[in-house]
Structure 1
Amino acid sequence: MEGCGDSLPEGDSHPIADIDSQSSILSSNLFLDGVGEVVVTLNSDGLSWRSAESMSNEEDPSLCLGLKLFRKCGTGVKFCDVYAAESVGWGVVRKSSLQNAARLFSGHSFEMFRLTVHYAQKSRNSTNVWAPSRYSFGHKDLQTCRMWVNRIRASLRLQGGRPKSLLVFVNPRSGKRNGCRTWEAVAPIFSLAEVKTKVTITERAGQAFDVMASISSREVNSYDGVVAVGGDGFFNEILNGLLLSRHKASFPPHPAESTQPVKDGSHLTTAHDAETSDNINNNNEDCSPLLTHSELDGSQGAACKRGLG
């Protein structure tokens, strides 16, 4: 079969696949879009690949007259960054790694069955921003592509902590009334990652608060997270609705007064009387903090005698 004037490269009708029972490694020759034929290996933590063409240090087919002629491409991707893999059917796969410059300028490409690996990578301008990206591979055998998709998906299911169900609130008036458009731009990512979403587009202020305040704890626990498509105020509204209705602490009870009699010397007094007596003594100590009880009583008695005299 021909594609873009070039015949499909000959190769094994079946993948060069080795499945090790101990290391669970899968390896096949695939065509990476924009690069050419590569040997792709799947292991426990991700995918890696290297060129299938033998290249020496002295002769680099990516160089022509001292110039680098094709774009840089990664040599692997970790499963922690991959969120989906899918088979995309028959189509064009471009090949750039050619043996000579004459074929390079001819625009070499083939048509074959393809699979796409979707992943997220950090932005070059900000480490806090992740951008969706993808690698496209091709093979002339459809079953080979399907096998790779199934194996990648099986590896992704082993990744712990991935959300499966999310509750989404969209404020259509946020971001210059672009809230709905923002959600429509990212919704396909959740769909590819097989994450179920329940979406609520708010129609009034405080609606998200009311929903979160009235939702049962059982339903809250059925979600892996809550997504707020809006500004900081919209996020705080959702958070307050979640917390205020579930973390209300009752006031502590008032302590009951004790009326049990307490024996003091030759007569009985109540706890209230004893407390009153202690308060009087404490007041005296406050007035004369440097005098003991005996000295304080003596000085007060002398003062009384002088007053009577």
Structure 2
Amino acid sequence: MPGWEDDSGALADFVAVPQAFRDMPRWWREGSAWLDALPQLIRAYSDRWRLTITGEMAHGSNAAVVPVARAGDPFVLRLTPPGPEVAELVAALRFWNGRGMVQLIDADVPSGVMLLERLAIDGSLHAVPVDEAIPILGRMMRRLAVPAPEHVPSTAAAVAARMPALPVEWERCGRPFPERTLRRALEIGSRLAHAEEIGGRRARSESRLAVNGDLHSAQVLRGEREPWLTVDPVLMRGDIAFDLGRILWTRLDEMSDEAEIIRHFRAAVDAAGIDRDHGRDWVVFRTVDYWLWGLTAGLTEDPRRCRRLLTPLLEG
């Protein structure tokens, strides 16, 4: 295709690594060696999987994607530095096998390279008005909730692991919210961490459901096979309300007041088929958790969003 290769047959500028990708914080720590080798990696896997490159590189904070085609069918080549998270992502994609999820076509885990179904890279749910997006996310939570593998991390275990750290971080961060809020989160966390044991048959059944532990608007893209498909999942087992807080706080700036926050919370839990009180408990615990984690990590805007989200839920 004219313009995609230079006279020597080498890859041309369209596979140059964008400066915005080079500026991501990850490379400040890890250096640029992997970034510098990306054009050669793209060429190698284009040859291996018989791909034609059809567009320019796009990226997130940790991965690059390149539009490609094979025999006229569109795909994307996804590339990220090798590591254990690559194997976990490939396993998650294989588990859901296209159910509400981008389809994995091929993968080389040791190299961090995947061939994926082509979605609208620039068409995420984040661009959709919040009134429309929140119910879509709620329905996606339920769509992904199929019986999960027993060996994957559980949502109850994730809560239990964070419980001891919350009082320590609360003190270290200068007691950023009232102690009664911390006590409320710890009481909720104690129940959520032991839900499988104390909740009866229904809770044990729910605890075996698959959960995407990184679900939010930017991770849901327009597709052709289904109107919306999820990317970059984190496969967990347990309670599908686990990431309800993230769904809300990532769109909180579009909610004008406390009444609107409550309205969107109800829209999410109703679309997902989650009991409202149970959903509220998960949002409270995870928001307190994220608030303290964010302060510890030096974040500024997200702790403010956590305060906005918690206030109406704790008062309601």
- Using the size of structure 2 for normalisation, the TM-score is 0.19
Could you say which structure has the higher helix fraction?
A: 2
Relative to total residues, which structure has the larger strand share, 1 or 2? 1
Pick the structure with greater CA Rg: 1
TM-score, structure 1 as length reference: 0.20
Name which structure has the greater RCO, CA cutoff 8 Å, separation 6+: 2
